[in-house]
Amino acid sequence: MNIKVYDTKNTETKSVALPAQFSEPVRSDLVKRAVLALQSIRRQKYGASPEAGKRYSAYLSKRRHNYKGTYGIGQSRTPRKILNRRGTRFYYVGALAPQTVGGRRAHPPKAEKVWAQKINVKERRKAIRSALAATMVKDLVLARGHKVPENFPFALDASFEALAKTKDVVLALEALGFKEELDRAATTSIRAGKGKMRGRKHVSKKSFLFVVSKDCPLLKAAANISGADIVPVQSLNAELLAPGTHIGRLTLFTDSALDVLSQRNLFAQGGAK
């Protein structure tokens, strides 16, 4: 499949062939598995204190003739603590056991639990190739909610990587026909629920993903565009290409990034990564 290359003035400069990685069949189920595996690595561990509910000096003898025992008086053998006594009669209150007030939980969450999910290397690479292929299917990109021009998909000229100011990047994107997409990404909504009280009141939309060939000024210039991400081609992963496990993100590759992808055989069956 060949795609056209446009410069910052929306002028067609040439046509390039997409690398073989883009010919992978689209597998949304495989992409979802790869994204969830990435998200599981970032999941924060949590759990109760090992001593929670066990800080009582609760002990109860279950022997027949022991002093302070409850054997033979019609009392269940729940661990108890003594509050007071009168002669040989004791006033007990249940403690420590899960069914008692202030007792431990029966099966509390353990802080040592490992939440990270594993995924095979070949499976991860195949998921990335599948997500790459989905970025070139216009119907999938539109179904995700993006606003794209009529001539999409296309690639960007390598001159984009030299843009050092955000306003220059925005002007170039508007010239390419992404004015509606920029407006869509700039709107935010207020989060439902208590998250709005915890430092994350507004929810923004995912928008452009710029893929460049190397460390360049565009890495900083495009970072201020609302909803946009920018990465070198070797740092691509399934979550960047399909945020929230949904394939078809609006992705703009520079032609030099496509060259690196092809020459280094990235994410291929026996490729570099």
Percent of the chain scored above 70 by pLDDT?
Answer: 99
77-86, 134-143, 169-178: the lowest-pLDDT one: 77-86
**Residue whose token pair is 């691509």:** 236
Q: Taking a C-beta distance cutoff of 8 angstroms, is the pair 206, 230 a contact?
A: no
Instruction: Give yes or no for a cis peptide into 153 (omega within 30° of 0).
Output: yes
Determine the Cα–Cα distance for residues 200 and 190; give it in Å rounded to an integer: 9
pLDDT > 80? residue 4 = yes
Q: How would you class 67 by CB atoms within 10 Å of its CB: exposed for 0-12, middle for 13-18, buried for 19 or more?
A: exposed
* Least-confidence region, from 10-24, 49-63, 108-122, 166-180: 49-63
Instruction: Say which range, 15-19, 52-56, 59-63, 129-133, has the weakest mean pLDDT.
Output: 59-63
What is the per-residue pLDDT for 248?
A: 95
Report the pLDDT value the prediction gives residue 92, as an integer from 0 to 100.
86
Mean pLDDT of 148-163: 94
Band of residue 271 on the pLDDT scale cut at 50, 70, 90: low
The tally of CA atoms less than 13 A away on the side-chain side of residue 185 is 23
- The conformation of residue 195, written as its DSSP 8-state character, comes to G
β-bridge partners, 94: 80
In this predicted model, which residue has the larger pLDDT, 91 or 147? 147
Q: Is the pLDDT of residue 36 over 90?
A: yes
Q: What is the rounded average pLDDT of the residues 182-203?
A: 93
Q: Write down the domain spans for the chain.
A: 2-43+115-263, 47-114
pLDDT confidence bin for 62, thresholds 50/70/90: confident
Does residue 273 register a pLDDT over 70? Answer: no
Superfamily designation of domain 2-43+115-263: Ribosomal protein L4/L1 (3.40.1370.10)
